Amino acid sequence: MTIGGLSGLLTAWLLAPGNEMMTGMLLGMVLGMLSQGVSFLVWIPLFGDFEIMIPTMLTGMVSGMLLGMTNTMISLPIEVSSLIGASIGVALTWWVRKRNQDLQGYVQ
């Protein structure tokens, strides 16, 4: 949620309608990944390396890319952009958790 929200906030703050869409997507993705990098150091000692790194990086990339693209097309209020980002974070964290359950156990 934090990463998604932060990605939404940064993309809404830095991008505006009229910006080039592909640049917005790439910038959003980079901003999302940078948000992930900062929070990574804070949360890892509490929740574990991969358990944090995988969902937060995925959230940062996807929410940053989608909201980066969206914010070049329409002007989203910062709070709406953050809320969408946070929702993407929740959905992706749930998906990674589900994927983890599916892959558990002996495979060979």
Partner 1 sequence: MTDLATQTKWDKNAKTYEWAGMAAELRWKPEKKALFEMMGRGSILFVAVGPGVDFKLFPPNRKIIGVDISPKMLELAQKKVPHYSGELELRQMDVQALEFEDNSFDQVFTSCTFCSVPDPVKGLNELRRVLKPGGDLKMFEHTGSQYFPFRQMLALMNPIAEKFGPSVNRNTLANVQNAGFVIHRVKNIYLDIVKTIEAMAP
What is the rounded CA–CA span in Å between residue 38 and residue 28? 15
CB of residue 40 to partner 1, shortest distance in Å: 10
Residue 98 is a binding residue for partner 1 (CB under 8 A): no
Residue found under tokens 């929200």: 5
Q: Name which of 79, 92, 91 is nearest 5 in CA terms.
A: 79
By beta-carbon proximity to partner 1, the closer residue of 13 and 47 is 47
What is the rounded CA–CA span in Å between residue 93 and residue 88? 8
Residue window 39-78: x/- pattern of binding to partner 1, with contact defined by CB under 8 A = -----xxxxxxxx-xx--xx--x-----------------
Residue 18 is a binding residue for partner 1 (CB under 8 A): no
Residue span binding partner 1 (CB under 8 A) among the ranges 5-13, 14-22, 79-87, 100-108: 100-108
Read off φ and ψ for residue 84, nearest 5 degrees: -65, -45
Torsion of CA 23, 29, 31, 32, to 10 degrees: 160
By beta-carbon proximity to partner 1, the closer residue of 29 and 76 is 29
Residue 17 is a binding residue for partner 1 (CB under 8 A): no
CB of residue 33 to partner 1, shortest distance in Å: 8
